[in-house]
Amino acid sequence: MKAEYINPFLESARIVLEQLINVRPTTGQLGIKDVKFVENHIWIQIGMSGQMQGDIVFGLHEDVALKLVSAMMGGFSVTQMDEMSQSAISELGNMISGNASTILYNQGVRVDITPPKLIQTAAAAGFTPTKALTIPLMMEHIGQLDIKVLIS
């Protein structure tokens, strides 16, 4: 697991969040942590193939997801993870990953990404807990978004 794998996703997340919700996130401590799917969290899984194989997982508490979706909707208060909210938060993961794949392409790394898979329960995760390169992004008045890189 190489630390430089996470940098394009970190850079992309900062750009997308700044443009989309007008918040400049701050970066937490980079580390290797267990990926544990816990209840009341939303997980957006993006598969990668090509010169990088594996998954990128964005994790956030459901309350943070609702605040993010509200901000994405121009401040309209969103109070439940209905179909529209799920679509919006999945699209956020897609935008971040799409931007990151462009950054990687410009660095000479060819990758393809899968459509986002929204996971709302640990049972639906579909893969066993493992170690991942993880970095949290903190968004003022919104909360924390974790970027987890599971690349081989």
Q: How far apart are the first and last CA of the chain?
A: 6
- Show the DSSP H helices in 5-61 as ranges: 7-21
Phi, psi of 64, rounded to the nearest 5 degrees:
-65, -40
Instruction: Give the tens place of pLDDT for each residue, 44-71.
Output: 999 999 999 999 999 999 999 999 999 9
User: How far is the CA of 132 from the CAs of 8, 67, 111, 146, in angstroms?
Assistant: 16, 26, 19, 11
Question: Which CATH code of 3.40.1550.10, 3.40.640.10, 3.40.50.720, 3.90.220.20 fits the domain covering 3-151?
Answer: 3.40.1550.10
- By C-alpha distance, which of 131, 139, 120, 109 is closest to 45? 120
Task: Give the pLDDT confidence score for residue 39 in this predicted structure.
Answer: 77
pLDDT tens-digit readout, 3-33 = 677 899 999 999 999 999 999 999 999 988 8
pLDDT in tens, 85-99: 999 999 999 999 999
Enumerate the domain spans of the chain: 3-151
